[in-house]
Structure formats: C-alpha cells, structure tokens
Amino acid sequence: MLLVNTDKLNVGSVKELIDAAKKAPGAIDYASAGVGSPFHLAAELLAQAAGIKINHVPYKGAGPALQDLASGQIGMMFVDFASARAQLSLKGIKAIAVASPGEFYGLPGVPPVSAVVPGFEAWAWQGFVAPKKTPPAVVAKLRDAYLKAANDEEIKKKLLAAGIDPLQSTPDEMAAYIRSEADKWAKVIKTANITLE
C-alpha cells in the first residue's frame, strides 16, 4: 500500500500526489526499507509511470522507515500491509492506494494506484517452484496439495489475517508471470540507474 503522512505531505489521493510532485519536482521524499527493496522499486515504478521526480530516502529496514513516516520526518512510502497495519490507526497516516492490480480485501475502499496510473502493479508475491526436470506428475501432485491447503477454510482464514491473498495458477501461467515480472523490474532498475554500491 502507499502510505502518506498527511501532516508532512498534504495529499489524499494518487492524483493529488502526482499533481504535487509535478508542481515541485524533487521536493517530495519517500522512504523505503533500503536500496533495491520492493518498496523502493514500487516508488520508482510510480515515478517513471507518472512522469514525476521524487527523492528516495533509504532506511535500514521497514521499521525505522515507518517510525519516521509516523513522526512526520518523511512524507510517503510504499509498504506491505502486514508491516504497516498498526500505523493505519495513527493520526495523519493514510493509505491513499494499494499497489495490487485491484482493490485489496484488507483495505476496503482504498483504490489501486492503477485507477490513476493504468497498468501499475507492484505487489509482493510468492510461488512454489521445483527443479526444472521434476516430472509433470510430481508437479501436478504438488499443485494439487497446494490447492487443497490454500482452499482449506482454516488455513485461508489465517493467511488472509496475515495479509496474504492465496492465488492459484498453472505452472505455465506462473512461469510466464515470473518472466514478465523479471522484465518489468529490470527495466525499472535500469531506467532509475539503481545499484547496490
């Protein structure tokens, strides 16, 4: 999700954020959990897609970044729901958007960034993989076991409470998604000239 401290950065939507950044290029700072972190890359993707300039302030982890967001030292940051759920109750902290393709069940009524920046998607995902030469029958058996577990009501309830939305795909769909994600983030990294040095 995209959080702002409205005392530091007086915006209530992605459109207002983009407008503010266009009026004062480079004047808005954003926090991340470190250089190259998913939160850093999400903000860079937003900047590139919206044609804005915002300044990266890397922290040593999401915890310190969230503390500075809450105290008003920094105006905005992308962060995962599980890490920042508690901050949503703080005065001045507002989730103005989610980075998933559509609305997120954990934040009803909070629009996706893609409602303003078409095609924007920067949400954390995980998948199960197996060695390349794993027999198709074994892959099918593993997938069936995952589907059974992910659809168990008790397990699903625990996953959702942790901010995890269990999705389902075929091995071919997952492989295609991994390739598209690798290409997308490689372009963001190259365009932003991000290095770990």
pLDDT value at position 165? 79
How far is the C-alpha of 5 from the C-alpha of 88, rounded, in Å? 10
Task: Give which of 48, 164, 150, 191 is closest to 100, Cα–Cα.
Answer: 164
Mean pLDDT lowest among 72-81, 111-120, 121-130, 185-194? 121-130
Higher pLDDT, 165 or 194: 194
Topology of domain 2-122, per CATH? D-Maltodextrin-Binding Protein; domain 2 (3.40.190)
How far is the C-alpha of 3 from the C-alpha of 38, rounded, in Å? 15
Higher pLDDT, 87 or 164: 87
Mean pLDDT across the chain, nearest whole number?
Answer: 92
Query: Does the pLDDT value for residue 197 go beyond 70?
Result: no
List 112's β-bridge partners, or say none: 98
pLDDT digits (tens, 9 = 90+) for 9-32: 999 999 999 999 999 999 999 999
Domain ranges of the chain: 2-122
Task: Give which of 60, 53, 63 is closest to 28, Cα–Cα.
Answer: 53
131 three-class SS: coil
Which sign, positive or negative, has the C-alpha torsion 119, 43, 185, 126? negative
Instruction: Give the pLDDT mean for 31-47.
Output: 96
The pTM (predicted TM-score) of the whole model is 0.86
pLDDT value at position 182? 93
